[in-house]
Amino acid sequence: MKGERLRQKLRGWWRTADQVARAQATEKLEWEVREMENIFALLTLGAFTGLPSPPMQLTLELLPLMERELLLMLEKVDTASDPLAELFSTLNVL
Amino acid sequence: MCSEIAEDPRRFFFFMGKGGTGKSTVSALAACFLAARGRRVLLLSLDPAHNQADIFDRPFSGRPQTVGERVRVAEVDQRHWINRFLHSVQDHVRRAYTYQSAFNLDHWLDVLHDSPGIEEYAMILAFQHYRQVEQDIDVMILDMPPTGLAMKFLRLPRLSLRWLTHLENLRQEILRKKEIVHRIRFGRRELETDRILGRLKQQGAFYDDLKTLFENPVATRIHLVFNPDQLSIRESGRICEGLKAIALDRCLHPVLNMASREEFRLPPELFPGRSVPRLSLSDCPLIGLSALHGYLGEQGGRMDFLL
């Protein structure tokens, strides 16, 4: 009985440690994906931000599917004034 | 789609050139000429400032109307195609955005009516519609707007494809990285399909089909109508360069219109090595079907270049 409980605890610890390790391993990649999604949104919806943009109909065709990218762009507005802080937090500096 | 175009027996004759050179009249003459030789013709005016109603001396709409044996004419209502497109976007936005009630979509769409690029897209949508619906014709004659808008129309598929290729590559890269993240975090592949990539591919196929059609010199002819005067000739030179830049110069067929002076010599560098058909100035206004047929009766032989 005791052995079984110990085994379950060990399995729980292992699962948590595994999840933490996996999250750490993908953290930077996820940050990169977010950046790329932001670039995608900026390229596609550039007309709204004053950047060179694709023909308007391409933007309008994609717009209904880009809720996530739009929100990401809005989030970026908050961190845009302090990009170093964002980078340091991603790279775990200090 | 490429093989579909190769198998499609229909021909698409675009008539373009500087404003006032007689594109609409030559289009109407071409339609009557081809119909008289047994072709089933649809003459479609894509020029927002339509002239076909004046030439045939009767009103037209978006629904093709028979004006003579085997000839039908329609004038594209640009506003209708812009509205149709913007309303489909509006419906998609309403369905997709959970917080859409915050948008005043109607007001937003009003602004988009006049946004750059919408005009040529409306022309593309209209062209594709008639191309899809009008399967029983032999020739579609397209009376184009003056140079600027006509060039934007012809350039749109190529320009859109450049953007779409770039966006699709970026999207593929994002999805590849997302899949790696997913695999590391959850230990399996992400099977969800990306709707944005799907839409990009769909758009890519749409423009690729158009680009293939425009670049096919058998299916597509771009008749450049010009007059024997300096301004028209200079603009024609620029049109040639523009068409060359988008690889459509192989489809180019120049037509000298209102060539009252037979001795007029074209600058040799304009269309090197090509014979340019000449249509002479009519003695009377070419208004009404009988006037058009009258002109063809006298000058019809000069239009053999269309066959």
Of B95, B177, B195, the CB nearest to A33: B177
Q: Which pLDDT value is given to residue A34?
A: 87
- List CB contacts (< 8 A) between B178 and chain A: 33
Position of tokens 């158009």? Answer: B210
How would you write B256-296 as a 3-class SS string?
A: EECCCCCCCCCCCCCCCCCCCCEECCCCCCCCCHHHHHHHH
Q: Which pLDDT value is given to residue A55?
A: 86
Assess whether pLDDT exceeds 80 at residue A76: no
pLDDT grade for A47, boundaries at 50, 70 and 90: confident
Report strand pairing: B11-17 vs B139-143.
parallel
Q: Which pLDDT value is given to residue A87?
A: 62
Q: Which pLDDT value is given to residue B247?
A: 94
Closest Cα to residue B235, out of B245, B226, B223? B226
Contact between B26 and B259 (Cβ < 8 Å): no
Count the Cβ atoms, other than its own, within 10 Å of residue B113: 13
Cα B37 to Cα B68: distance, rounded to the nearest angstrom: 13
Report, at the CATH architecture level, how domain B15-164+204-306 is classified. 3-Layer(aba) Sandwich (3.40)
Q: pLDDT tens per residue, chain B (307 residues)?
A: 456 666 789 999 999 999 999 999 999 999 999 999 999 999 999 999 999 999 999 999 999 999 999 999 999 999 999 999 888 887 877 777 665 555 566 666 677 777 778 899 999 999 999 999 999 999 999 999 999 999 999 999 999 999 999 999 999 999 999 988 888 887 766 556 889 999 999 999 999 999 999 999 999 999 999 999 889 999 999 999 999 999 999 999 999 998 876 667 888 888 888 889 999 888 888 999 999 999 999 886 788 888 8
Determine what percent of chain A is predicted with pLDDT higher than 90: 5
Q: Which pLDDT value is given to residue A88?
A: 64
What is the nearest CA distance from A84 to chain B, expressed in angstroms?
A: 23
Whole-model pTM over 0.90: no
Minimal Cα distance from B113: which residue of A? A56
Q: Which pLDDT value is given to residue B166?
A: 94
Minimal Cα distance from B95: which residue of A? A64
Cβ separation A67–B112 shorter than 8 A: no
Assess whether pLDDT exceeds 70 at residue A80: no
Q: Which pLDDT value is given to residue A61?
A: 87
Cα B108 to Cα B104: distance, rounded to the nearest angstrom: 6
Cβ separation A55–B159 shorter than 8 A: yes
Of A22, A23, A33, the CB nearest to B174: A33
Average pLDDT estimate for A65-91: 73
* B interface residues, A as partner, C-beta within 8 Å: 85-86, 89, 92-93, 95-98, 112, 115-118, 121, 156, 159-160, 163-164, 166-167, 170-171, 173-174, 177-178, 180-181, 184-185, 195-196, 199-200, 203
Closest Cα to residue B142, out of B212, B38, B240, B213? B213
Higher pLDDT, B153 or A86: B153
Cβ separation A60–B85 shorter than 8 A: yes
Domain boundaries, chain A: 28-90
Q: Which pLDDT value is given to residue B259?
A: 80
